Amino acid sequence: MTLITVAPTGAEVDKSAVPALPVTLDELVRTAKECESVGASVIHVHIRDDDARPTLDLGRLRATVSALRESTGLIVQLSSGGAVTDPESDRLAVLEAEPEMASCTMGTVNFGDDVFHNRWAFIVELHTRMRDRGIVPEYEIFDLGHLTSLRRLLDGHGLPHGGHVHVDLVMGVPGGMAGTASALTACVAAMRDLPDGTTFSATGIGRTTLPVLLASLAAGGHLRVGMEDTVTYAKGQPVESNAQLVARAAAFARLAQRPPITPAAARELLGITARS
Ligand code: KMH
Ligand code: ZN
């Protein structure tokens, strides 16, 4: 069975360049419903302000969590990564919006012409606060050494809330690991040092989307797709919608005899307990 996460928006893609990008709450909710209907069980969320610029405004984040919870059964995973310019304090405050999940990036990485900063003490703080608040982390891995850091984190600071470890390999970022089957295989080998039962999903940025998707399915991994990671469906063909990417991922998963799982099954897999 395959867990499919959709990452519909991100912090980098420009709405004016990609009109299909969901940036308002209405667009996000519509996208979420469409993606759930074609096989997504988790939504990784970045939000935008009224000018379609990335924001970590807490009021908006709370409204987003609540709207997605009311309109869909999806697991809402807020990004604590934000944009490369976001301060640590705002990234930590994301947790106050009380999502079921949040991302937790396992190290600093060059990010195109920028740097995505993730100091060790900040990572420990995110991990600890998530556990205190009953939020399940998805550990974001941009490079092989981030898996070693995850081992160090779990050894020194214990398992996350729910006890299950789930990582997401974000591959093909300029500055991070390559989006190739061999890089994915190296990660799978390194994951042997993580707790038994650790699960992983993978996503390939830009043109690495398909090789990473196929390699992840072949290696027993789960999938993340969405316009945060790719805005081209095929050469010269812009992505029409996030649901188009989820539907393709679901079709590949069915072909691999590992059909998409429901949000309820995903909650069980990830150790997410019901919130009151
Ligand atoms: N926007 C990137 C700088 C995450 O969501 O946790 C960070 C990112 C990772 O997208
Ligand atoms: Zn993200």
Distance from the CA of 271 to the center of ligand 1, in angstroms? 23
Dist CA 61 CA 64 (whole Å): 5
Q: What is the structure's pLDDT at 210?
A: 98
Dist CA 153 CA 119 (whole Å): 12
Type and span of the H or E element at 179:
none
Testing ligand 1's pocket by substitution, the residue of 12, 77, 103, 141 carrying the most ligand atoms inside 8 A of its CB is: 103
Instruction: State phi, psi for 157 to the nearest 5 degrees.
Output: -130, 5
Is the Cβ atom of 9 under 6 angstroms away from ligand 1?
no
Dist CA 94 CA 213 (whole Å): 29
Distance from the CA of 152 to the center of ligand 2, in angstroms? 23
pLDDT tier for residue 67 given thresholds of 50, 70 and 90: very high
Dist CA 172 CA 179 (whole Å): 4
Q: What is the pLDDT of residues 128-148, one digit of tens each?
A: 999 999 999 999 999 999 999
Residue 19 has pLDDT above 80, yes or no: yes
Question: In sequence order, what are the residues at sequence separation of 6 or more whose Cβ sits closer than 8 angstroms to the Cβ of residue 257?
Answer: none
User: Do 116 and 84 contact (CB within 8 A), yes or no?
Assistant: yes
Dist CA 207 CA 231 (whole Å): 9
Residue 275 has pLDDT above 70, yes or no: no
Q: What is the pLDDT of residues 172-186, one digit of tens each?
A: 999 999 999 999 999
Is the Cβ atom of 229 under 6 angstroms away from ligand 1?
no
Looking at residue 30, what DSSP letter applies?
A: H
Query: pTM higher than 0.85 for the full model?
Result: yes
User: What share of the chain has pLDDT > 70, as a percent?
Assistant: 99
Question: In sequence order, what are the residues at sequence separation of 6 or more whose Cβ sits closer than 8 angstroms to the Cβ of residue 157?
Answer: 124, 127, 128
Dist CA 240 CA 175 (whole Å): 28
